[in-house]
Amino acid sequence: MKEKEFEKIVKEHKNTIYTVCFMFSKDADEVNDLFQETLINLWQGFNNFKGESSIRTWIWRVSLNTCISSERKKSKLHTVPLSMDINLYEDTDEDSRQIQMLYNRINRLKPFDRAIVLLWLDNLSYDEIAAIVGISVKNVSVRLVRIKEELKKMSNN
């Protein structure tokens, strides 16, 4: 019974989990790895979920914490990324370039700021964002203003 309930919750919220993983990754393999790691963490914490927050808030929190933790681990490792000279999946239309530019800029933010922007882009209220990341509503507002300014100042590189 527990497995069925968990499976239902994951199906309902897989887009949220995937979006978080996408924003904290560099390629499709990393998205899949983060997605799997998030599912494991959700499963391990499922029995401890007491319903003090909504299931949506809990999933956001676990997803973000998983990805931020992974990001911290990566920054401690000194790796040399391998890259291809061509991206077969790259879209060349203007909308795709704009989205890619925004993604690149957001990806350069600190993990905590990236999490806040991601929640804001998903149209969560300041109250929900505050509950998920554990700061005050006023702090969410102030941080978003600063983050938006930082994004505007970034070059397209």
> Tokens 């007491």 belong to which residue?
50
Are the beta carbons of 68 and 112 closer than 8 angstroms?
yes
What's the structural domain count of the chain? 2
pLDDT digits (tens, 9 = 90+) for 102-142: 888 888 899 899 999 989 988 899 999 999 999 999 999 99
pLDDT digits (tens, 9 = 90+) for 28-52: 899 999 999 999 999 999 888 888 8
Distance CA 96, CA 27 (A): 16
What is the token pair recorded at 141?
Answer: 């507002």
**R_g (Cα) of the chain, nearest Å:** 17
The SS3 call for residue 71 is: helix
State the CATH number of the domain containing residue 133: 1.10.10.10
> Could you tell me the residue range of the domain that residue 18 belongs to?
1-83
